[in-house]
Chain A
Amino acid sequence: MSGPRSMRTPLGRVRNLGSSHSGTTDFWRQRLTAVAMTLLIVPVIVIVLMLIGRNQAGAAQILGSLPIAIILVLFIIASTWHMRIGMQIVIEDYVHNEKLKLAGVIANNFFCIAVALASIYAILKLSSGV
């Protein structure tokens, strides 16, 4: 589309995929993870409802079953990815000090990855029954 007779303005022809250097990747992944969670939300709510009022032994047994573990791991991946992108947008919108913004984006990545790995590890531990 960007041949010699392109109709794009100079502003539209941003260098290196724009200021994010990754084009619309985050925009696309935010929608992708949103669609994933829209599909997963009903089974996830059913799983949570199954666990209400049960003690640890009962909860561990349900959480350790294969289909439930897979659904929860998929939901954790989609949600932590989605929230990482969402929070980065919020930081970029409101934090205008470059260093503070960088620190915020790094902290956001660390937080989301930590939540994701801790949750997934817990489910895998329940699945292996250790």
Chain B
Amino acid sequence: MTARIERPLSPHLQTYRVTLTMALSIVHRATGIALYFGTLLLAWWLIAAASGPGAYANVQAFTGSIIGKLIVFGYTWALLHHLVSGIRYFFWDLGYGFKANEREALTWGALIAGISLTILVWIIAYTVGGGR
């Protein structure tokens, strides 16, 4: 057994002033957790499609309800936000965008892009889906 080394610890969340990048880091993790459980919906939908008309009608009844629509809308945003927010991490992983103004711009960009893309997808969904 080796002695436990007292390594320097990062100050706890409450010690820091809340910044945009910090808030969005938490949102990235939260959307990741939401998407984790959201895959159940996706799996249910695929299994229903493979099972038959009755099972598929159940999924459609759920996704067509107000609560179902809210969940699917939330899922769309979580997915697209996590995607664009994740692209931000690619920049940082490659060593770019660490200046104060750059990281703020990347973070605002992810926030705005996530919301815009969600609205865009839903507009397309209603445009093509409405015709069927």
Give A contacts to B, CB under 8 Å.
11, 31, 34-35, 37-38, 41, 45, 49-50, 52-57, 59-60, 63, 72, 79-80, 83, 86-87, 90, 115, 118-119, 121-123, 125-126
| B95, CB-defined interface residue at 8 Å | no
- Of the candidates A37, A52, A53, A118, which one forms a contact with B47 in the assembled complex, judged by CB atoms under 8 Å apart? A118
- With A53-B129, A54-B132, A56-B57 as known contacts, state yes or no: A86 contacts B32, CB within 8 Å: yes
Task: Give the docked Cα–Cα distance between A11 and B7 (Å).
Answer: 10
Across the interface, which residues of B come within 8 angstroms of A11, CB to CB?
Answer: 5, 7
With contacts A38-B87, A49-B128 taken as known, whether A56 is within 8 angstroms of B49 at the C-beta atoms is yes
- Docked complex Cα distance between A49 and B7 (Å): 51
Known pairs A34-B89, A115-B39, A121-B50; list 19 more (Cβ under 8 Å).
Answer: A11-B5, A31-B90, A38-B83, A49-B129, A52-B125, A52-B132, A53-B130, A55-B53, A55-B56, A56-B56, A59-B49, A59-B56, A63-B49, A83-B36, A90-B32, A118-B43, A122-B47, A122-B50, A123-B50
Residues in A whose Cβ lies below 8 Å from that of B39? 79-80, 83, 115, 119
Q: Look across to chain A and name the residue whose beta carbon is closest to the beta carbon of B33.
A: A90
Rounded to whole Å, the gap between the CB of B132 and the closest CB of chain A is 3
CA distance A35 to B52 in the complex (A): 34
Main secondary structure on A side of the interface with B: helix
Q: What sequence of 0s and 1s flags, for each residue 19-46 of chain B, a beta carbon within 8 Å of any chain A beta carbon?
A: 0000000000100110110011011001
* Residue positions of B touching A, CB distance < 8 A: 5, 7, 29, 32-33, 35-36, 39-40, 42-43, 46-50, 52-53, 55-57, 79, 83, 86-87, 89-90, 93, 121, 124-125, 128-132
A-B residue pairs in contact (CB < 8 Å), sample of 11:
A38-B83, A41-B83, A50-B128, A52-B132, A55-B56, A56-B48, A56-B56, A83-B36, A86-B32, A90-B33, A118-B47
B57 cross-chain contacts in A, Cβ below 8 A: 56
The smallest beta-carbon distance between A92 and chain B, in angstroms, is 13
What are the residues of chain A within 8 A of B87 when measuring CB–CB? 38
User: Would A49 and B49 count as touching, CB distance under 8 A?
Assistant: no
- With both chains docked as a complex, state the minimum distance between the C-beta of B24 and any C-beta of chain A, in angstroms: 16
On whether the beta carbons of A56 and B53 are closer than 8 Å, the reply is yes
In the complex, what's the smallest C-beta–C-beta distance from A35 to chain B, in angstroms? 8
Task: Report which of A31, A35, A59, A90 forms a contact with B29, defined as CB distance below 8 A.
Answer: A90
Q: A45 to B87, alpha carbons, bound, how many Å?
A: 17
Q: Which residues of A sit under 8 angstroms from B48, Cβ to Cβ?
A: 56
